Structure 1
Amino acid sequence: MQLRIENSIIHQFYSHDDKVGLRLAPEALPEDEQLHELLEELTQVYTNKPAKGYASFLTESDEGDSGPFPEQLKQWHGGQLQFVDFSQQAAKLLLEQLQNYNMLEAGFLLVTRYQHLSTDYLLVAFLPVKEGVSINPDLAVNKSSQLDINKVQLAARIDLTEWETNQDSERYISFIKGRVGRKVSDFFLDFLGCTERLNSKSQTQTLIEAVTEYGKESDLEPQQRQSLNAVAYEYCDQQWKQGEDVSVKDLSQHFEQAQPQELSFEDFSRDYAKQREAELPEEFPADKSTLRKLVKFQGQGGGVSVGFDHTQLGERIKYDVATDTLTIHGTPPNLRDQLRRYFGIDS
């Protein structure tokens, strides 16, 4: 990944006596190999996060107060505010949010402006730390704190190029939607003064439902419908990996090549979404975790968790609708070994 770093700085947040404190860096970081490695690892982790939200800054028509961050960004971007001053103001604003939400988070705030593929980005990320041990040159064991990049949950990336050229856009800000609940997302959105505009998870779910119904309406056999789902998954997954939007028109063309039908998927999906009052834009970023439903059945509850590929239904796995019973022929080796040991059967 070729990144050109323009500005970068790190501020520290620490907790002491049930309070959170802030240590401001007085100057930007020098551009060196270590900084590039950190940013490349962070952007890779950010890109690979399966669930992201898409937002834009609050406007006068929105409810709520946008706070000072958008104005500070304008001043810095317009040359009225130095990068270090801008980042320090952002850190102080984050400190207020941490105090308001009573979150005693220790870590580091990284603010970086960089360019990738002719696009200008501002990445704002809260880097958590983890305790570990290291061996010093004297071969003694030392306790140390290290950045835990893989556990980053508070991060947002502002597409400065799109923000500058198309402020009516509703998705020039992307952010991580963590698994710990909406509170974290709300907290970080409040800090940035923006609101979520585009729900990629919901739109991806609508697309999956449309694909399923399209197969039924086209009177396709189960195997043909599975093939259609596989085509959809392969295309959408590839778009996700490349950081590109899913295009309903392009997907329709893929279907036309794989399973030609009288009614195109593009026309069908438009009517499907309208009838169900669901949102399905012509182009949108896919949600990685939701996409798996195209090729895999999975669910859990009552102490049971089950998951299997669509292609196994009717083959190794049978489902009896009348009795709501799944019959599995041939268990996975690791599960089989556990069961045999449990019943005292020699493997």
Structure 2
Amino acid sequence: MPIRHCVIHHIDKKPDGTPATLHARESVIEPSQAIDDLLADLNDSYNAKQGKAWGMFHAESGAHPLSGWLKKYLDGGNSFIAFSRVAVEHLQTLMMESNLSVGGHVLFAHYQQGMTDYLAIALLHHSEGVAVNAELDVTPSRHLDLSQLQLAARINISEWRNNANSKQYISFIKGKNGKKVSDYFRDFIGCQEGVDGPGETRTLLKAFTDFVESEDLPEEAAREKTQTLVNYATSQTRAGEPVTLEELSGLIDEDRPKAFYDHIRNKDYGLSPEIPADKRTLNQFRRFTGRAEGLSISFEAHLLGSKVEYDEEAGTLIIKGLPTQLTDQLKRK
């Protein structure tokens, strides 16, 4: 993962309403193993975050100037340090206008992964801890706490520059329960949501369920294909990459690699060729489970509508094809 340029500035702002003070770095950070490790850990933490949104830039304006500054840097009209400086000054202004925000270290990193260029922007905070020094004394220690990452965005520069119709070249952390604390950071990026990740994922899973039913597959084959879909989508999510429908189709049925893809197109589910999979929605697709008053029920999601029927009004489940071990116990009673 070659890092083209990286810089970290510091905005000192307390949540008590005092003005934000900027401590800006004057040059980019020199390449080192430490900065490589930091960016790798940041990507891992970012990819693991649930509740991300996908979108695109607002039209460049005084309210949303970041895309223009980024374009100027990429076109050679400005240096990376100059781009990051004007951007962090804009963030400082927005912080002062937001009573909910606190400061931190602001990281800007332009890096390449495979053939794709990315820009990562993240607000980082420290945690207090302890360490044992060379003299075996216990001493206070501060470290960047990436597990608490809440304000971050990643821009797929290659997608933005090469695909004018794309609506998902930016991803950003939405914040838990839609907290307004993240609104100013989204405004700083100048991003608007273009793709509903959870909704697209639900549509994909509905299309897959319909496909399995139309193929009238044996239970074991349906289970294997379900696992293939979930494993592929989960691995793409971990890598921060979208699910590609054609690639997924080939994995689901190697003998007929276009079968699932053609099913989606013929039924017109309205899915884009690439969708950002939502981790929480994928996890819910694996199994339905519930336990109450001595009753425990668990079954794989693809069985709903075939071996398991749900009557919402009556609040009942009808289970067909009971396991032999269970029927033998029932007979003995």
Paired residue secondary structure (1:171): coil
Residues 285 and 301 in structure 2, CA contact (< 8 A), matched pair in contact too: no
Normalized against structure 1, the TM-score is what? Answer: 0.74
Aligned to 1:10: 8
Paired residue secondary structure (1:293): helix
Relative to 1, partners in 2 of residues 1:271 and 1:90: Cα closer, same or farther, differing over 3 Å?
A: same
Q: CA RMSD in A?
A: 3.7
Relative to 1, partners in 2 of residues 1:152 and 1:244: Cα closer, same or farther, differing over 3 Å?
A: closer
Aligned to 2:89: 92
Verify: 1:132 aligned to 2:129, yes or no.
yes
Aligned to 1:287: 278
Cα deviation digits, residues 318-340 of structure 1 (max 9, x gap): 9996664899x9xxxxxxxxxxx
Q: Which moved more, 1:187-196 or 1:280-289?
A: 280-289
Normalized against structure 2, the TM-score is what? Answer: 0.76
Paired residue secondary structure (2:171): strand
What are the residue-to-residue correspondences of 1:1-347 with 2, within 5 Å? 3-16=1-14, 17-19=16-18, 20-59=20-59, 66-136=63-133, 140-181=137-178, 183-218=180-215, 225-241=222-238, 243-256=240-253, 264-270=259-265, 274=269, 279-298=270-289, 308=298, 310=300, 324=316
Letter aligned with residue 285 of structure 2:
L
Paired residues, number: 309
Letter aligned with residue 198 of structure 2:
K
Q: How far apart are 1:95 and its partner, in Å? A: 1.5
Residues 134 and 144 in structure 1, CA contact (< 8 A), matched pair in contact too: yes
Residues 49 and 173 in structure 2, CA contact (< 8 A), matched pair in contact too: yes
Paired residue secondary structure (2:125): strand
Q: Which runs of 5+ in 1 are unaligned?
A: 330-347
Q: Which runs of 5+ in 2 are unaligned?
A: 324-333
Residues 230 and 282 in structure 2, CA contact (< 8 A), matched pair in contact too: yes
Aligned to 1:336: none
Relative to 1, partners in 2 of residues 1:65 and 1:220: Cα closer, same or farther, differing over 3 Å?
A: farther
Q: How far apart are 1:143 and its partner, in Å? A: 3.4
Identity of aligned residues (%): 32
Rounded Cα–Cα distance in structure 2 between residues aligned with 1:289 and 1:52: 11
Rounded Cα–Cα distance in structure 1 between residues aligned with 2:263 and 2:251: 15
